[in-house]
Amino acid sequence: MQHRSKSRSLFLPLGAAAAVAAATGGALIWVWGVSGFGAAQDKPSVTPTLLRSGCTKKGQVPGSGSTAQQNVMKYWIKQYQQACSPVQIAYNPVGSGAGVAQFLRGDTSFGGSDSPVKPENAKGLGRVCSGGRAINLPMVGGSIAIGYNVPGVNDLVLDAQTLAKIFDARITTWDDPAIRKLNSDAELPSLPIRAVHRSDDSGTTQNFQAYLAGAAPKVWPYPAEKAWQGHTGDSAAGSDAVASTVNSTTGSIGYFELSFASRLSINTVRIDTGASAPVTATTKTASAGIAAAKLVGTGKDMTLKFDYRTSADGTYPIVLVTYEIVCDKGNLPDSLPALKSFLAYTASEQGQEALSEIHYAPLPESIAAEVRKVVSTLS
């Protein structure tokens, strides 16, 4: 028996595309409109007829979570709605932590998170996944770019150890000897470093801290949690706000997805991994990092594990995959067909092929094909 109730949410069908959600008296109010979040992606549209065969006739699918995927989710929803109206998809970029919490409360049909739900939290969800469990489906990849704002420095190389010390307030000026050693040709100013981290629980933070802990374990002693663990510095809620802070603050450095750096034309750090040349954050180098990941999930769960200490040429080490978290069994019957239809599109060749144009990394086809197979079995 399906116990998940829709009484916690009020659906307002005012259009089609992204969602804006607000907490009011304990209920989530979803506004189905086109201007809820992010910047529109003016990229080539898919041919609606190619999608139509996978469309359902009706359904409302609310999701929330990762800000890392907000730009691609905006794109996906726009394309899907053009082909599959009147199905309505909504996404609220509240951050991975909040998105997972809303899904586990039964407020949404899927949660977006840059880190997987752990096995111990995936079972026993009662009314949320009646008779089943929460599973992690990788859907979009990308690099966590390290953006910086240092006057006169347009090319900056850092390694894991130096990054760890910067974000732990143990390197505090831009002309520190450790930075000069990696950038012998740069004119580094004697300027205080202002390291910016996320203030909200974030999968981006968790992945960045996993990289620091994995690549520089003797320097970064903190666990890879969604909450920031290093010494305090400047902070902002959401990747968009961190990128905006770096863009407007001289001497700053922060971490966020490549799409935000590209949109604001922020310089990004090249990472010295021990490869023949420092590696730049691009969709191609991020895809190489994702392709080297190992599948460690069991059953229908598709959790991936990255190699943060890679020194392979052209492989960017600070990567993430945003997962869509769904129930393998026990999804709401009213939204299930539309949920499966939308996720099948996002994992399809059509859904993945445009990602590099908006600064995301497509999934390797071997992974995407397995995701599509799992989506077809959701019940």
Task: Specify binding-site residues.
Answer: 66-68, 96, 114, 202-204
DSSP 358: G
The residue count for the chain: 379
- What's phi and psi for 29, nearest 5 deg? -105, 115
The rounded distance, in Å, linking the Cα atoms of 325 and 319 is 19
The continuous run of DSSP H or E covering 62 comes out as strand 60-65
The rounded distance, in Å, linking the Cα atoms of 175 and 25 is 51
In this structure, the strands spanning 19-24 and 60-65 are unpaired
Q: Tally Cβ neighbours within 10 Å of residue 180.
A: 12
The rounded distance, in Å, linking the Cα atoms of 35 and 31 is 10
Q: Which amino acid is at 169?
A: A
Query: What is the secondary structure of 62-78 as a DSSP string?
Result: EEEE-STTHHHHHHHHH
Q: Is 214 within 8 Å of 163 (Cβ atoms)? A: no
Listed residue (349, 260, 357) closest to 42, CA to CA: 357
- Binding residues for phosphate, by number, are 66-68, 96, 114, 202-204
Q: Which two tokens stand for residue 180?
A: 């000069």
Q: Is 146 within 8 Å of 48 (Cβ atoms)? A: no
Degrees to nearest 5, angle at CA 261 with 117 and 170: 75
Q: Is 135 within 8 Å of 122 (Cβ atoms)? A: yes
DSSP 374: H
Q: Tally Cβ neighbours within 10 Å of residue 217.
A: 13
- The separation between CA 293 and the C-alpha centre of its own chain, rounded to angstroms, equals 16
Q: Is 44 within 8 Å of 91 (Cβ atoms)? A: no
